[in-house]
Structure 1
Amino acid sequence: MTPIESQWIERLKQLPPKRVAEVLDFVAFLAAREERAAAPQRLSDGLARLVALALPAITEDEVEDEIQAARRERRASQQEA
Protein backbone atom coordinates (compact mmCIF):
# COMPACT_ATOMS: atom_id res chain seq x y z
CA MET A 1 0.00 0.00 0.00
CA THR A 2 1.35 3.42 -0.91
CA PRO A 3 1.73 6.18 1.68
CA ILE A 4 -1.09 8.18 0.14
CA GLU A 5 -3.41 5.17 0.24
CA SER A 6 -2.62 4.75 3.91
CA GLN A 7 -3.39 8.41 4.53
CA TRP A 8 -6.73 8.09 2.74
CA ILE A 9 -7.71 5.06 4.75
CA GLU A 10 -6.78 6.69 8.05
CA ARG A 11 -8.75 9.82 7.20
CA LEU A 12 -11.76 7.80 6.05
CA LYS A 13 -11.71 5.88 9.34
CA GLN A 14 -12.12 9.19 11.16
CA LEU A 15 -15.30 10.10 9.28
CA PRO A 16 -18.82 9.08 10.26
CA PRO A 17 -20.44 6.51 7.92
CA LYS A 18 -22.63 9.15 6.25
CA ARG A 19 -19.57 11.17 5.26
CA VAL A 20 -17.78 8.07 4.00
CA ALA A 21 -20.78 7.40 1.78
CA GLU A 22 -20.56 10.98 0.46
CA VAL A 23 -16.87 10.50 -0.30
CA LEU A 24 -17.64 7.28 -2.14
CA ASP A 25 -20.38 9.01 -4.16
CA PHE A 26 -17.98 11.84 -5.03
CA VAL A 27 -15.27 9.40 -6.14
CA ALA A 28 -17.84 7.61 -8.31
CA PHE A 29 -18.85 10.98 -9.79
CA LEU A 30 -15.22 11.82 -10.61
CA ALA A 31 -14.67 8.41 -12.21
CA ALA A 32 -17.81 8.82 -14.34
CA ARG A 33 -16.70 12.29 -15.41
CA GLU A 34 -13.29 10.91 -16.46
CA GLU A 35 -15.00 8.11 -18.37
CA ARG A 36 -17.24 10.60 -20.22
CA ALA A 37 -14.27 12.83 -20.99
CA ALA A 38 -12.38 9.89 -22.49
CA ALA A 39 -15.32 8.67 -24.61
CA PRO A 40 -14.75 10.96 -27.63
CA GLN A 41 -11.12 9.87 -27.91
CA ARG A 42 -12.09 6.19 -27.70
CA LEU A 43 -14.70 6.75 -30.41
CA SER A 44 -12.19 8.55 -32.60
CA ASP A 45 -9.64 5.77 -32.10
CA GLY A 46 -12.23 3.13 -32.95
CA LEU A 47 -13.27 4.93 -36.11
CA ALA A 48 -9.63 5.29 -37.16
CA ARG A 49 -9.13 1.53 -36.73
CA LEU A 50 -12.24 0.86 -38.83
CA VAL A 51 -11.04 3.15 -41.59
CA ALA A 52 -7.62 1.47 -41.50
CA LEU A 53 -9.26 -1.90 -42.18
CA ALA A 54 -10.42 -0.56 -45.57
CA LEU A 55 -13.42 -2.89 -45.59
CA PRO A 56 -15.72 -2.72 -48.61
CA ALA A 57 -19.00 -0.90 -48.07
CA ILE A 58 -22.10 -3.03 -47.59
CA THR A 59 -25.30 -2.45 -49.47
CA GLU A 60 -28.72 -1.71 -48.02
CA ASP A 61 -29.82 -5.17 -49.14
CA GLU A 62 -26.98 -6.77 -47.16
CA VAL A 63 -27.97 -4.78 -44.09
CA GLU A 64 -31.59 -5.87 -44.49
CA ASP A 65 -30.50 -9.51 -44.90
CA GLU A 66 -28.50 -9.29 -41.65
CA ILE A 67 -31.48 -7.76 -39.82
CA GLN A 68 -33.82 -10.47 -41.05
CA ALA A 69 -31.35 -13.22 -40.13
CA ALA A 70 -30.98 -11.78 -36.61
CA ARG A 71 -34.77 -11.62 -36.23
CA ARG A 72 -35.16 -15.24 -37.36
CA GLU A 73 -32.46 -16.31 -34.91
CA ARG A 74 -34.14 -14.40 -32.05
CA ARG A 75 -37.53 -15.90 -32.83
CA ALA A 76 -36.07 -19.42 -32.97
CA SER A 77 -34.36 -18.98 -29.59
CA GLN A 78 -37.57 -17.59 -28.06
CA GLN A 79 -39.54 -20.61 -29.32
CA GLU A 80 -36.99 -22.99 -27.79
CA ALA A 81 -37.34 -21.37 -24.37
Structure 2
Amino acid sequence: MRHTATSSMREVNDDVLKERMQQNEKWGLQRHDYPYWRAILVEEVGEVAQAIQHGSVASKETDADDLYTELIHVAAVASAIAEQVKEEAQ
Protein backbone atom coordinates (compact mmCIF):
# COMPACT_ATOMS: atom_id res chain seq x y z
CA MET A 1 0.00 0.00 0.00
CA ARG A 2 1.38 3.38 -0.99
CA HIS A 3 1.03 6.30 1.38
CA THR A 4 1.26 9.93 0.42
CA ALA A 5 2.44 12.79 2.56
CA THR A 6 -0.30 14.96 4.00
CA SER A 7 -0.09 18.73 3.96
CA SER A 8 0.50 18.67 7.73
CA MET A 9 3.40 16.24 7.27
CA ARG A 10 4.95 18.50 4.65
CA GLU A 11 4.47 21.63 6.76
CA VAL A 12 5.98 20.05 9.88
CA ASN A 13 8.97 18.70 7.96
CA ASP A 14 9.47 22.08 6.27
CA ASP A 15 9.47 23.70 9.72
CA VAL A 16 12.03 21.18 10.99
CA LEU A 17 14.28 21.92 8.01
CA LYS A 18 13.93 25.68 8.59
CA GLU A 19 14.88 25.17 12.24
CA ARG A 20 17.90 23.05 11.24
CA MET A 21 19.07 25.82 8.92
CA GLN A 22 18.57 28.41 11.68
CA GLN A 23 20.57 26.24 14.08
CA ASN A 24 23.42 26.05 11.57
CA GLU A 25 23.31 29.81 11.05
CA LYS A 26 23.39 30.42 14.79
CA TRP A 27 25.86 27.74 15.93
CA GLY A 28 27.60 26.56 12.78
CA LEU A 29 27.64 22.90 11.81
CA GLN A 30 27.57 21.04 15.12
CA ARG A 31 29.22 17.70 15.67
CA HIS A 32 29.45 16.49 19.27
CA ASP A 33 30.13 13.42 21.34
CA TYR A 34 26.87 11.55 21.89
CA PRO A 35 26.67 12.28 25.64
CA TYR A 36 26.73 15.99 24.80
CA TRP A 37 24.03 15.49 22.17
CA ARG A 38 21.98 13.67 24.81
CA ALA A 39 22.20 16.72 27.08
CA ILE A 40 21.04 19.03 24.29
CA LEU A 41 18.18 16.72 23.30
CA VAL A 42 17.01 16.16 26.87
CA GLU A 43 17.00 19.92 27.49
CA GLU A 44 14.76 20.36 24.46
CA VAL A 45 12.48 17.51 25.58
CA GLY A 46 12.25 19.24 28.96
CA GLU A 47 10.92 22.33 27.20
CA VAL A 48 8.29 20.16 25.51
CA ALA A 49 7.28 18.87 28.94
CA GLN A 50 7.02 22.45 30.21
CA ALA A 51 4.86 23.46 27.26
CA ILE A 52 2.58 20.46 27.83
CA GLN A 53 2.02 21.46 31.44
CA HIS A 54 1.57 25.16 30.59
CA GLY A 55 -1.70 26.37 32.02
CA SER A 56 -2.05 23.47 34.42
CA VAL A 57 -1.77 23.69 38.20
CA ALA A 58 1.84 22.46 37.82
CA SER A 59 2.92 25.24 35.45
CA LYS A 60 5.20 28.12 36.36
CA GLU A 61 5.86 31.47 34.73
CA THR A 62 9.19 30.27 33.34
CA ASP A 63 7.66 27.31 31.49
CA ALA A 64 7.76 27.19 27.72
CA ASP A 65 4.32 27.83 26.28
CA ASP A 66 4.57 27.02 22.56
CA LEU A 67 4.29 23.24 22.27
CA TYR A 68 4.56 23.17 18.47
CA THR A 69 7.78 25.20 18.44
CA GLU A 70 9.33 23.09 21.18
CA LEU A 71 8.46 19.89 19.29
CA ILE A 72 10.07 21.33 16.16
CA HIS A 73 13.21 22.04 18.20
CA VAL A 74 13.31 18.42 19.43
CA ALA A 75 12.88 17.12 15.89
CA ALA A 76 15.58 19.45 14.57
CA VAL A 77 18.09 18.39 17.24
CA ALA A 78 17.28 14.73 16.57
CA SER A 79 17.79 15.43 12.88
CA ALA A 80 21.21 16.97 13.54
CA ILE A 81 22.20 13.90 15.54
CA ALA A 82 20.96 11.61 12.75
CA GLU A 83 22.99 13.61 10.22
CA GLN A 84 26.11 12.98 12.29
CA VAL A 85 25.33 9.26 12.64
CA LYS A 86 24.86 8.98 8.88
CA GLU A 87 28.10 10.86 8.15
CA GLU A 88 30.06 8.69 10.58
CA ALA A 89 28.71 5.53 8.92
CA GLN A 90 30.10 6.53 5.53
> Which TM-score bucket, shorter chain as reference?
0.3 to 0.5
- Greater fraction helix: 1
> Structure with the greater relative contact order (CA < 8 A, sep ≥ 6): 1 or 2?
2
